[in-house]
Every structure is written in structure tokens, then in C-alpha cells.
Structure 1
């Protein structure tokens, strides 16, 4: 984890405070061998593995064999955070890595939160991709556009009461702090995530609210598109963005990283367009599917859709200080 992000100190302080041992290593999880991470887990008898959905999608592309050749029976719990899950990688993580016996403890908070807003609890049942519910002491809710709580549909994740780890300002940027978190509704922290509470009271995240795509007045979260794409066996990773369209307002564009050994053909492009259309309806038929060798991500493994969109439309890229690999922007620019 990036130690400038909450998960770095969270792991160190949390692990040591509970009398456990932290296992850390530098470098890629799949180099010099595709089983590097799984060999490490076996060698050290790791019992709890925390990993991001992006990393799961990356290692899943190598298949099951690099995992199954190792004895991971010491694993008891799987953890994840950083971004919404897609169902196919989630089930692979649970079934192949966790052997179908390890719960996936999926949490969400933020460095500016100093904690997590959402977390499963031991007494709760888990459903795929859920975050359980409010973490202890967190007065979180989901608001519709009118500022009223909403259930069964996507809305803004908010917090209505203070909490101990709350950021109280940004260094030399007090107005930016107020505009980012406090200017939507009075005395309500707006976190910038789309969330949903289903009929069973389970909470889910649907992506960043500033990543929302709006096609002909219909709102769409990029995670919905990306879930459809990564379920295809040829796709390792995907990112969905909205680009300006003179009739629809925005058109849906998809950027796809293919599994090693898969050729980027026009036939596959048409197949992926149809996959999204079948999953989401004709209204959200992609106007473009482009093949790229990499997606720009932050050091905490979040896909920088803002940078992808800016590259696609030739706009100013803005601050890219958080990007892990600047060459990924060039890869998007060269996408075919």
C-alpha cells in the first residue's frame, strides 16, 4: 500500500495493535513469476490477505493455475478496499484464492475519513460485493438528489454526524475543503461515492459520483459497464467514460486491456459492444470500444477515469501527481 494513503498506516498500526505480524514486500505481484504473490503467501503462512479489486483483475488474467499450485490453506480472511468490485473478479477471489471458505471483508472509507464508513460485521451475512453496512460510530446514509434518504436506488454516500478521524481542513486550501465535502447540503459530508442500500439492508458502492456518465438523460455508473466487460474471458481490465455528444449529451466510450495472448480484432470489438448492450440495454450501447495496453491508476490502484476522459477528448490532464505510471496515459492516447 502507498504510505501516503490511509491503508499504509492502517495496516501497520492495526496489525501491530492486534499483536499480529505484518508481511510486506516490494515490487510487482506477478513478476518475475506470475505466482509471486501466491508463493509468498504459502511461504509465510499468511492468514489474512488484503488486496484491491484492480490487482485481483490483473492477477486473474494469468488463470487459476498460478494460485492453485500453492497451499493457501492458512488463509482465513480476505480483505479488499479502494474501489467497487465487479462480480466476476469478486467470485474468482472468493472461490479460487479463498477456496470458497474465506469471507471477503470489503470496506470503504478514505484518507480524509481517517477510518472506514462502511464495513461488514461478524454477525451479518455477506452477499457478493457488499460492504455490509455502516462501520461502528458512523452516521452514514444514501441521499437522493433532493437531499432525502433513499433505498433501492443509487444515491450519494453521505455522513450526517461528526466522527473522530474527520479531516477538518486541507493545507492552505480551506475553500477547496468546503467545496469538496460541504457545499451540497447543510451540515452533511458528501463523500463523492455512489452508494446503494438494497431491500435486505446490504450496502454497495457503484463508483465515484464525479465519474457518472449521462447518456440522453439516463445516468450510468462506470462500474456497471466495466462489470459487463470484465466478465468476458478476453478482458483483463476495463474503464468506461462519457465523452461529449451533440445529441445525447454524452456518449459511452470503453477502454479495454485484453488478456495476454488475445488479439485486438474488430470482431472482438463488436462482440464487446454487444456484451454491454445486452447487459445494460440499447440506450447504453457503447459508441466506441478501444484497446489499450494499460489504464492509468493512482498509487492506491484506483483507475484515473478523469485522465482517460481528458486524454480522449484532448483536454488538459490536470494534476497527475498521484499517477503510478505516467506511460499509461500515452497507452490510452495510442489506443486503437
Structure 2
């Protein structure tokens, strides 16, 4: 695929109005490809210029933009510089006369309720929350778990924690207690902030009970702060539980903590292929700057724009929404509900009503909405929309074209955007100064030194290989929380000084990139990354299950769905009642959104002679694909047993 296949072409006037082009020319470049090469040739110079372009304010200037004295795995960024990201996201806009009354946060609830906070109002709320949290003992360096739905207090809490100099750790609002407690215990969080519940599809979804179950398994938690979203009756522990309104009722000016650029402000967990989730450590001058840069330079988010990403604060794109928008002086829109309730036009109604300029979606979301009549799109005025961002998973052509033609009327660029939690944003994207082809990426993000390697570590073109990054970047996770050996083994162990990301990718002769899937075992269910070990652990908890394996299989709506294989104890009947119990057990651990598509029972799992379960082989057999070399299997007969399930789906 190349330029001849492109279907969106930026006109000269359009290009000249983008922030990317204007910054390039300011730096002396008229050609994008030359500029990109310079961005990866001298990364210290590049990020020094980037923070100037973003107008990042420093309490104390940094002496050096990049320090590699600890090697590529642990770069030092903005050495000696001091700044708290809350100042750059809220306070400076609240102090400026031309922005203080502009909307910073727009919120819409599932039930249609709306709230808007100006930068001045948001600054006041963050002050009150910081004073309240400090009053119950939150100190710099403490970890605060945020297990919250998409309501204004969630964003306010994140900023308040960072303002104190503490570290917030967001958890997906749909997680079950066990998944939440696993993350709390890994972080040794001191405080949890949660809600009594939230609304979804017109129904009250309780949350406090699940939070209580998580806290019972988390001895490090001292206090639980509860936001009253629904106002229903909830269990209450007078010694531990604190009402959000009571804690934040006093008007207060809380002095923002004087933090170093390298101080952690967010700890966000992402699934691994084995064992517990990985804690990506992000700093004040890391994640927020990368998010703001990608939003500004790749997506053309400007002061006064409105950025709306349909996401959850427990996934990376939630914090990306917050800092990608606010650091640029743009409004961010948070939505509590679902995009097709009370009707399939809800998402487009929100875009129209709030004059959204930048909409972020996932391919799964579009696959679900394209089943409905396009009248639901056409009845809403989408003229405010300038760009549509897409992340979470690879596209397939049909939904991409539906979005481009039916929603964007073939005029709005779709910014395919792929990176990760440990990246703080994107590795590959669609820059708006180059043509865009369906489902591909037209460039690495500036500053990202990206290549495709074959199995020998040699760069390749026009063939599938490993996506690798050769130089560090601002926003790179500062190791894993208290697990740096695991961090090094995960990303740096295959080739010297090379970050191996775990994606299969192809780069063609014309410079277009296509991601074809994951090269490890991580599942990507509707854009939510899930380590198979988490689901397998839930299944094995059942008394009847000896062991389990989880694979991801193609799914028409979710992109990928989980299928589980369970080995039962001798004499156990594999009936529908048992299967129902196992579904409930997974939902309890991980939440209903991540329950598997199917649970299948087998006598044994394919294993190597040293006992490693071969998920790759399971997946190939289940999909009736070539399993490749299975000479290392101790029990090759298991492959044919699994392949019979595929035969059963065809009969």
C-alpha cells in the first residue's frame, strides 16, 4: 500500500495551518521527512524544542534535556528541572485572563446530566480536593488508587493527588475486586478513591461493594474516599470511609508541591503475558508532555479545541485525554455512558452538542455502531469535527471506510494511533501533513526512532517483523514499579539497547506501516489489554479446575475475544452448570466486560518438556491454522484434540 492507495490528501493551505507544519518551519524545515529524520538523530535537541513549543512552564529551569549516563533503559529527562504538571495543566490557564473563563472540563452523564468547569473553577475544585486529601494523611510519594467511573471528581482527584506530590494509580471502573486488589497490593496504595456507583444504560451500577471487597484483600489501604454519584444506600465503615463532599467542602488554596521533573506522578498497570500486571511508572515531565505533544503535533489539538476520547480512566487513553487536552489549553470532554444509549446516535449527538473538534474511538466501537442505519449519524451536525483519532487495536478495512465515508463524509482525517501504556502515547500515527491510506500509519510519531526487525535483528521492509524502538523518548516508563529486572526482561532482553514492543508490523516501500497483531500472548479485547494469566488465575480458583489457558481469537465486534481452555479434576462433569460458574468467576475477578467468549474443556494442555503451556499452538489449532514447529511439545496429541473444536464450529 502506498500513496496511490491514499484516500485523504491534505491541501497546501490545510498543511500550513497545522501546528506540526508551523513548528517545522519555525525550526527551519519545509520537508516533513527531513524533519522526522532530524527528530530521531538528535533526540536531546528535539525534546528541548518540543517543551518550548508546548510552552511548558518550569519552576526551576533544567540544565540538560537528556542525560544518558544510566544507559538507554533509564534516560534522565530535563535534569535539574522542577515543575508540577498540575501547574501546566490547570493553574497557568486559570491565572491567564484570556483562558481563565474558558471551559476546561465538560462532562455528560449517562442520564444526560451536564456539568462544565472553567479553568478557574477546575483550579478551585482541585485545590479543595488536594487540601481534603492532605487532611486525611495523603503525603508526597504516597500511592492513591483511583477506582472511579467517568465523572468530574475522577479527573479532579487525579490532579489533586499530583498537586500534593503523591502518585495516583487509576484502575478500570469495570474491574472486579480481585483485579483491583491485585493492583492495590502491587502498588502498596495507602488510600482508595471510589464512588457509590454510576449509571450505565439507564441503570444504577453499584461500585462501593466491589471496592469494599477489594479493600478487604488490601491491607495497605488506610482510608476510602467515596463520591456520592447515585445517592443510593451503601455499606459504610465509619473508621475507614470518608465522604468526598465532606473532605473537600472547605474553600482552600493548597500550595502545589515543588516536584522534580523526574518525580513519579502516576502509576498505571498494564497486563503481562504471565504473572501479575506491570506497573508503568510515569513522571511529571514524562507522560503528560508526551501526551500533550502527540495531541498537539500529531492530532493538531489547539487552545480552545474540545477533545473527547471515549475511554475509561483505567486505560492509558483516559490520562491521555486529560493531559493531551489540558496541557494544550483545550477542553476535555468526559462521558459516563455508552455510545449507543438511549439510541445509536448518542455518540454523534455528544459531538454535535458540545462542538467536539477531536473525537477518539476504537475500531470495536465503530464495528458496533455501523450495524445501525446511517440516519443516526446524519441527523447530527458534525461540522465542528476536525479529526478522528483511533487507538486500542488494529483496524480492518470495512469499518475504517464506513467511519471515513459515512461519518467523516470523506473529509475528516482518521488519525490511526498506536503505542501503549509504557510509551505514554504513540509510536506510530497519521501526521496531518501527509496523505492517509485506510487502516495504516503514515509515519512514526516525531521523536520515535522506530524500525521493523526480522528474527535476526536486521531491519526489513515489505515483510512482517518486530516493532522496535532504538532510542529513548520523553514519556518512556521509568522502569516498572519496584520490578526493574522484569522491565528490562520485558522490553530490553532480545537485542542490545533495543526496545522490543511486542507488535508484528509491516513497513512498505512507500513508508506506510501496518500493525498485524501482537507478537506475545497479550489479548486485546475491544481495545482493553488483558494478560492471559489474569483470566487463567480466576478459572483455576474453582475447585474443579486443575489448570487453564487463555487465547485471543478474532471477533467480529470486539476485534479479539478470549477463549479459555480448562482441565478438570478427575471425575468432574463438564456440564453447562459448571461452565456458568466459571463465567461468573471470571466476571467476579475481571469484570463482565472481560468475560470470555467461550470456555472449553480439554483433558490436557499442549506443553513443552519443561512444562510451559504453548498458547501459540493452542490458538493455531483452535483456528485450524498451521501450528508450525511443535517438536518441543511433550504431548502433541493435544493439538488434534483442540482442532476438533474448530471442526465442531463448522458442523
Report 1:187-336 matches (<5 A).
187-211=497-521, 256=555, 303=560, 305=561, 307-308=562-563, 311=564, 313-314=565-566, 323=590, 325=592, 328-329=595-596, 331-333=597-599
Q: 2:587 touches 2:594 (CA, 8 Å); kept in 1?
A: no
Aligned equivalent of 1:109, options 412, 416, 419:
419
Distance 2:474 2:361 in 1: 26
2:352 maps to: 42
Query: Normalization by structure 1: what TM-score?
Result: 0.67
Secondary structure class of the residue paired with 1:190: strand
User: Which digits, 9 at most, give the CA deviation of each residue in 1:41-73, with x for residues without a partner?
Assistant: 121222211101111111112232211222212
User: Which digits, 9 at most, give the CA deviation of each residue in 1:26-53, with x for residues without a partner?
Assistant: 0211122121111111212222111011
Cα displacement (A) at 1:188: 0.6
Secondary structure class of the residue paired with 1:13: helix
Distance 1:253 1:138 in 2: 29
CA pair 315-69 structure 1, distance change in 2 beyond 3 A: farther
1:72 maps to: 382
Cα displacement (A) at 1:75: 1.4
CA pair 25-326 structure 1, distance change in 2 beyond 3 A: closer
Cα displacement (A) at 1:196: 0.9
1:26 maps to: 336
| 1:148 is the counterpart of 2:446 | no
Cα displacement (A) at 1:256: 4.7
2:190 maps to: none
CA pair 150-320 structure 1, distance change in 2 beyond 3 A: farther
Cα displacement (A) at 1:18: 2.4
Distance 1:89 1:137 in 2: 30
Unmatched 5+ residue regions in structure 2? Answer: 1-310, 525-550, 569-581, 601-644
Distance 1:315 1:191 in 2: 32
Give the paired residue count.
251
RMSD: 3.1
Cα displacement (A) at 1:119: 1.8
1:127 maps to: 437
Report which structure shows greater RCO (CA 8 Å, sep ≥6): 2
Q: 2:587 touches 2:595 (CA, 8 Å); kept in 1?
A: no
Q: Which has the larger radius of gyration?
A: 2
1:247 maps to: none
Secondary structure class of the residue paired with 2:474: coil
